[in-house]
Amino acid sequence: MRKLLFQSLVQMPLTEAAPSADDKALAELGASLARVTRRRLGRSLSIREVDAGSCNGCELEIQALGNAYYDLERFGLRFVASPRHADVLLVTGPVTKNMRMALERTYNATPDPKWVIAAGDCALDGGCFAGSYAVVGGVSAVVPVDLHIPGCPPPPIAILRGLLALLEKVSAG
């Protein structure tokens, strides 16, 4: 026990470096996102995150959007607890058989106009869980998907870029 205690005092903690995203680039991306959101909706964008059976890697990256570095709220985006208040459903993970009905009910409870984003490789086609007896498949097997954000897991900046791409696509079309 003493040996472990001594090692913990001498050895530096193992941590990852901070994200290398340029603060100016992030601010420009956020300003573009806020501008397009206001133009399209006239208000902030409300997001309901749904975990359809993931390993929680994507959720960790989504939660990072709320930290002091990314600060999603400053761009006029917010997460909501109810699908009745949401504009976007951000779905992660492969859809499991247990979550199929819950995802369908969440989709049906979201008012129009609504958009669905499948975040992560598992949400596209089931990822490494594809073919499992417990998995229905990707999100598009249950509800229509408007945008897919690739990655395992996708970094927070890619999620922001995906939201901007969705809003620009919707505004143009």
Task: Summarize pLDDT for 32-82 with one digit per residue, the tens.
Answer: 777 777 776 667 788 899 998 888 888 989 898 888 887 888 877 889 998
pLDDT tens digits, 101-125: 999 999 999 988 888 999 988 888 8
Largest CA distance in the chain: 66
Average pLDDT, the chain: 83
Per the CB < 8 A criterion, the answer to whether 115 and 87 are in contact is yes
Torsion of CA 97, 113, 48, 120, to 10 degrees: 60
Nearest to 123 by CA among 28, 57, 34: 57
Total count of residues recorded for the chain: 173
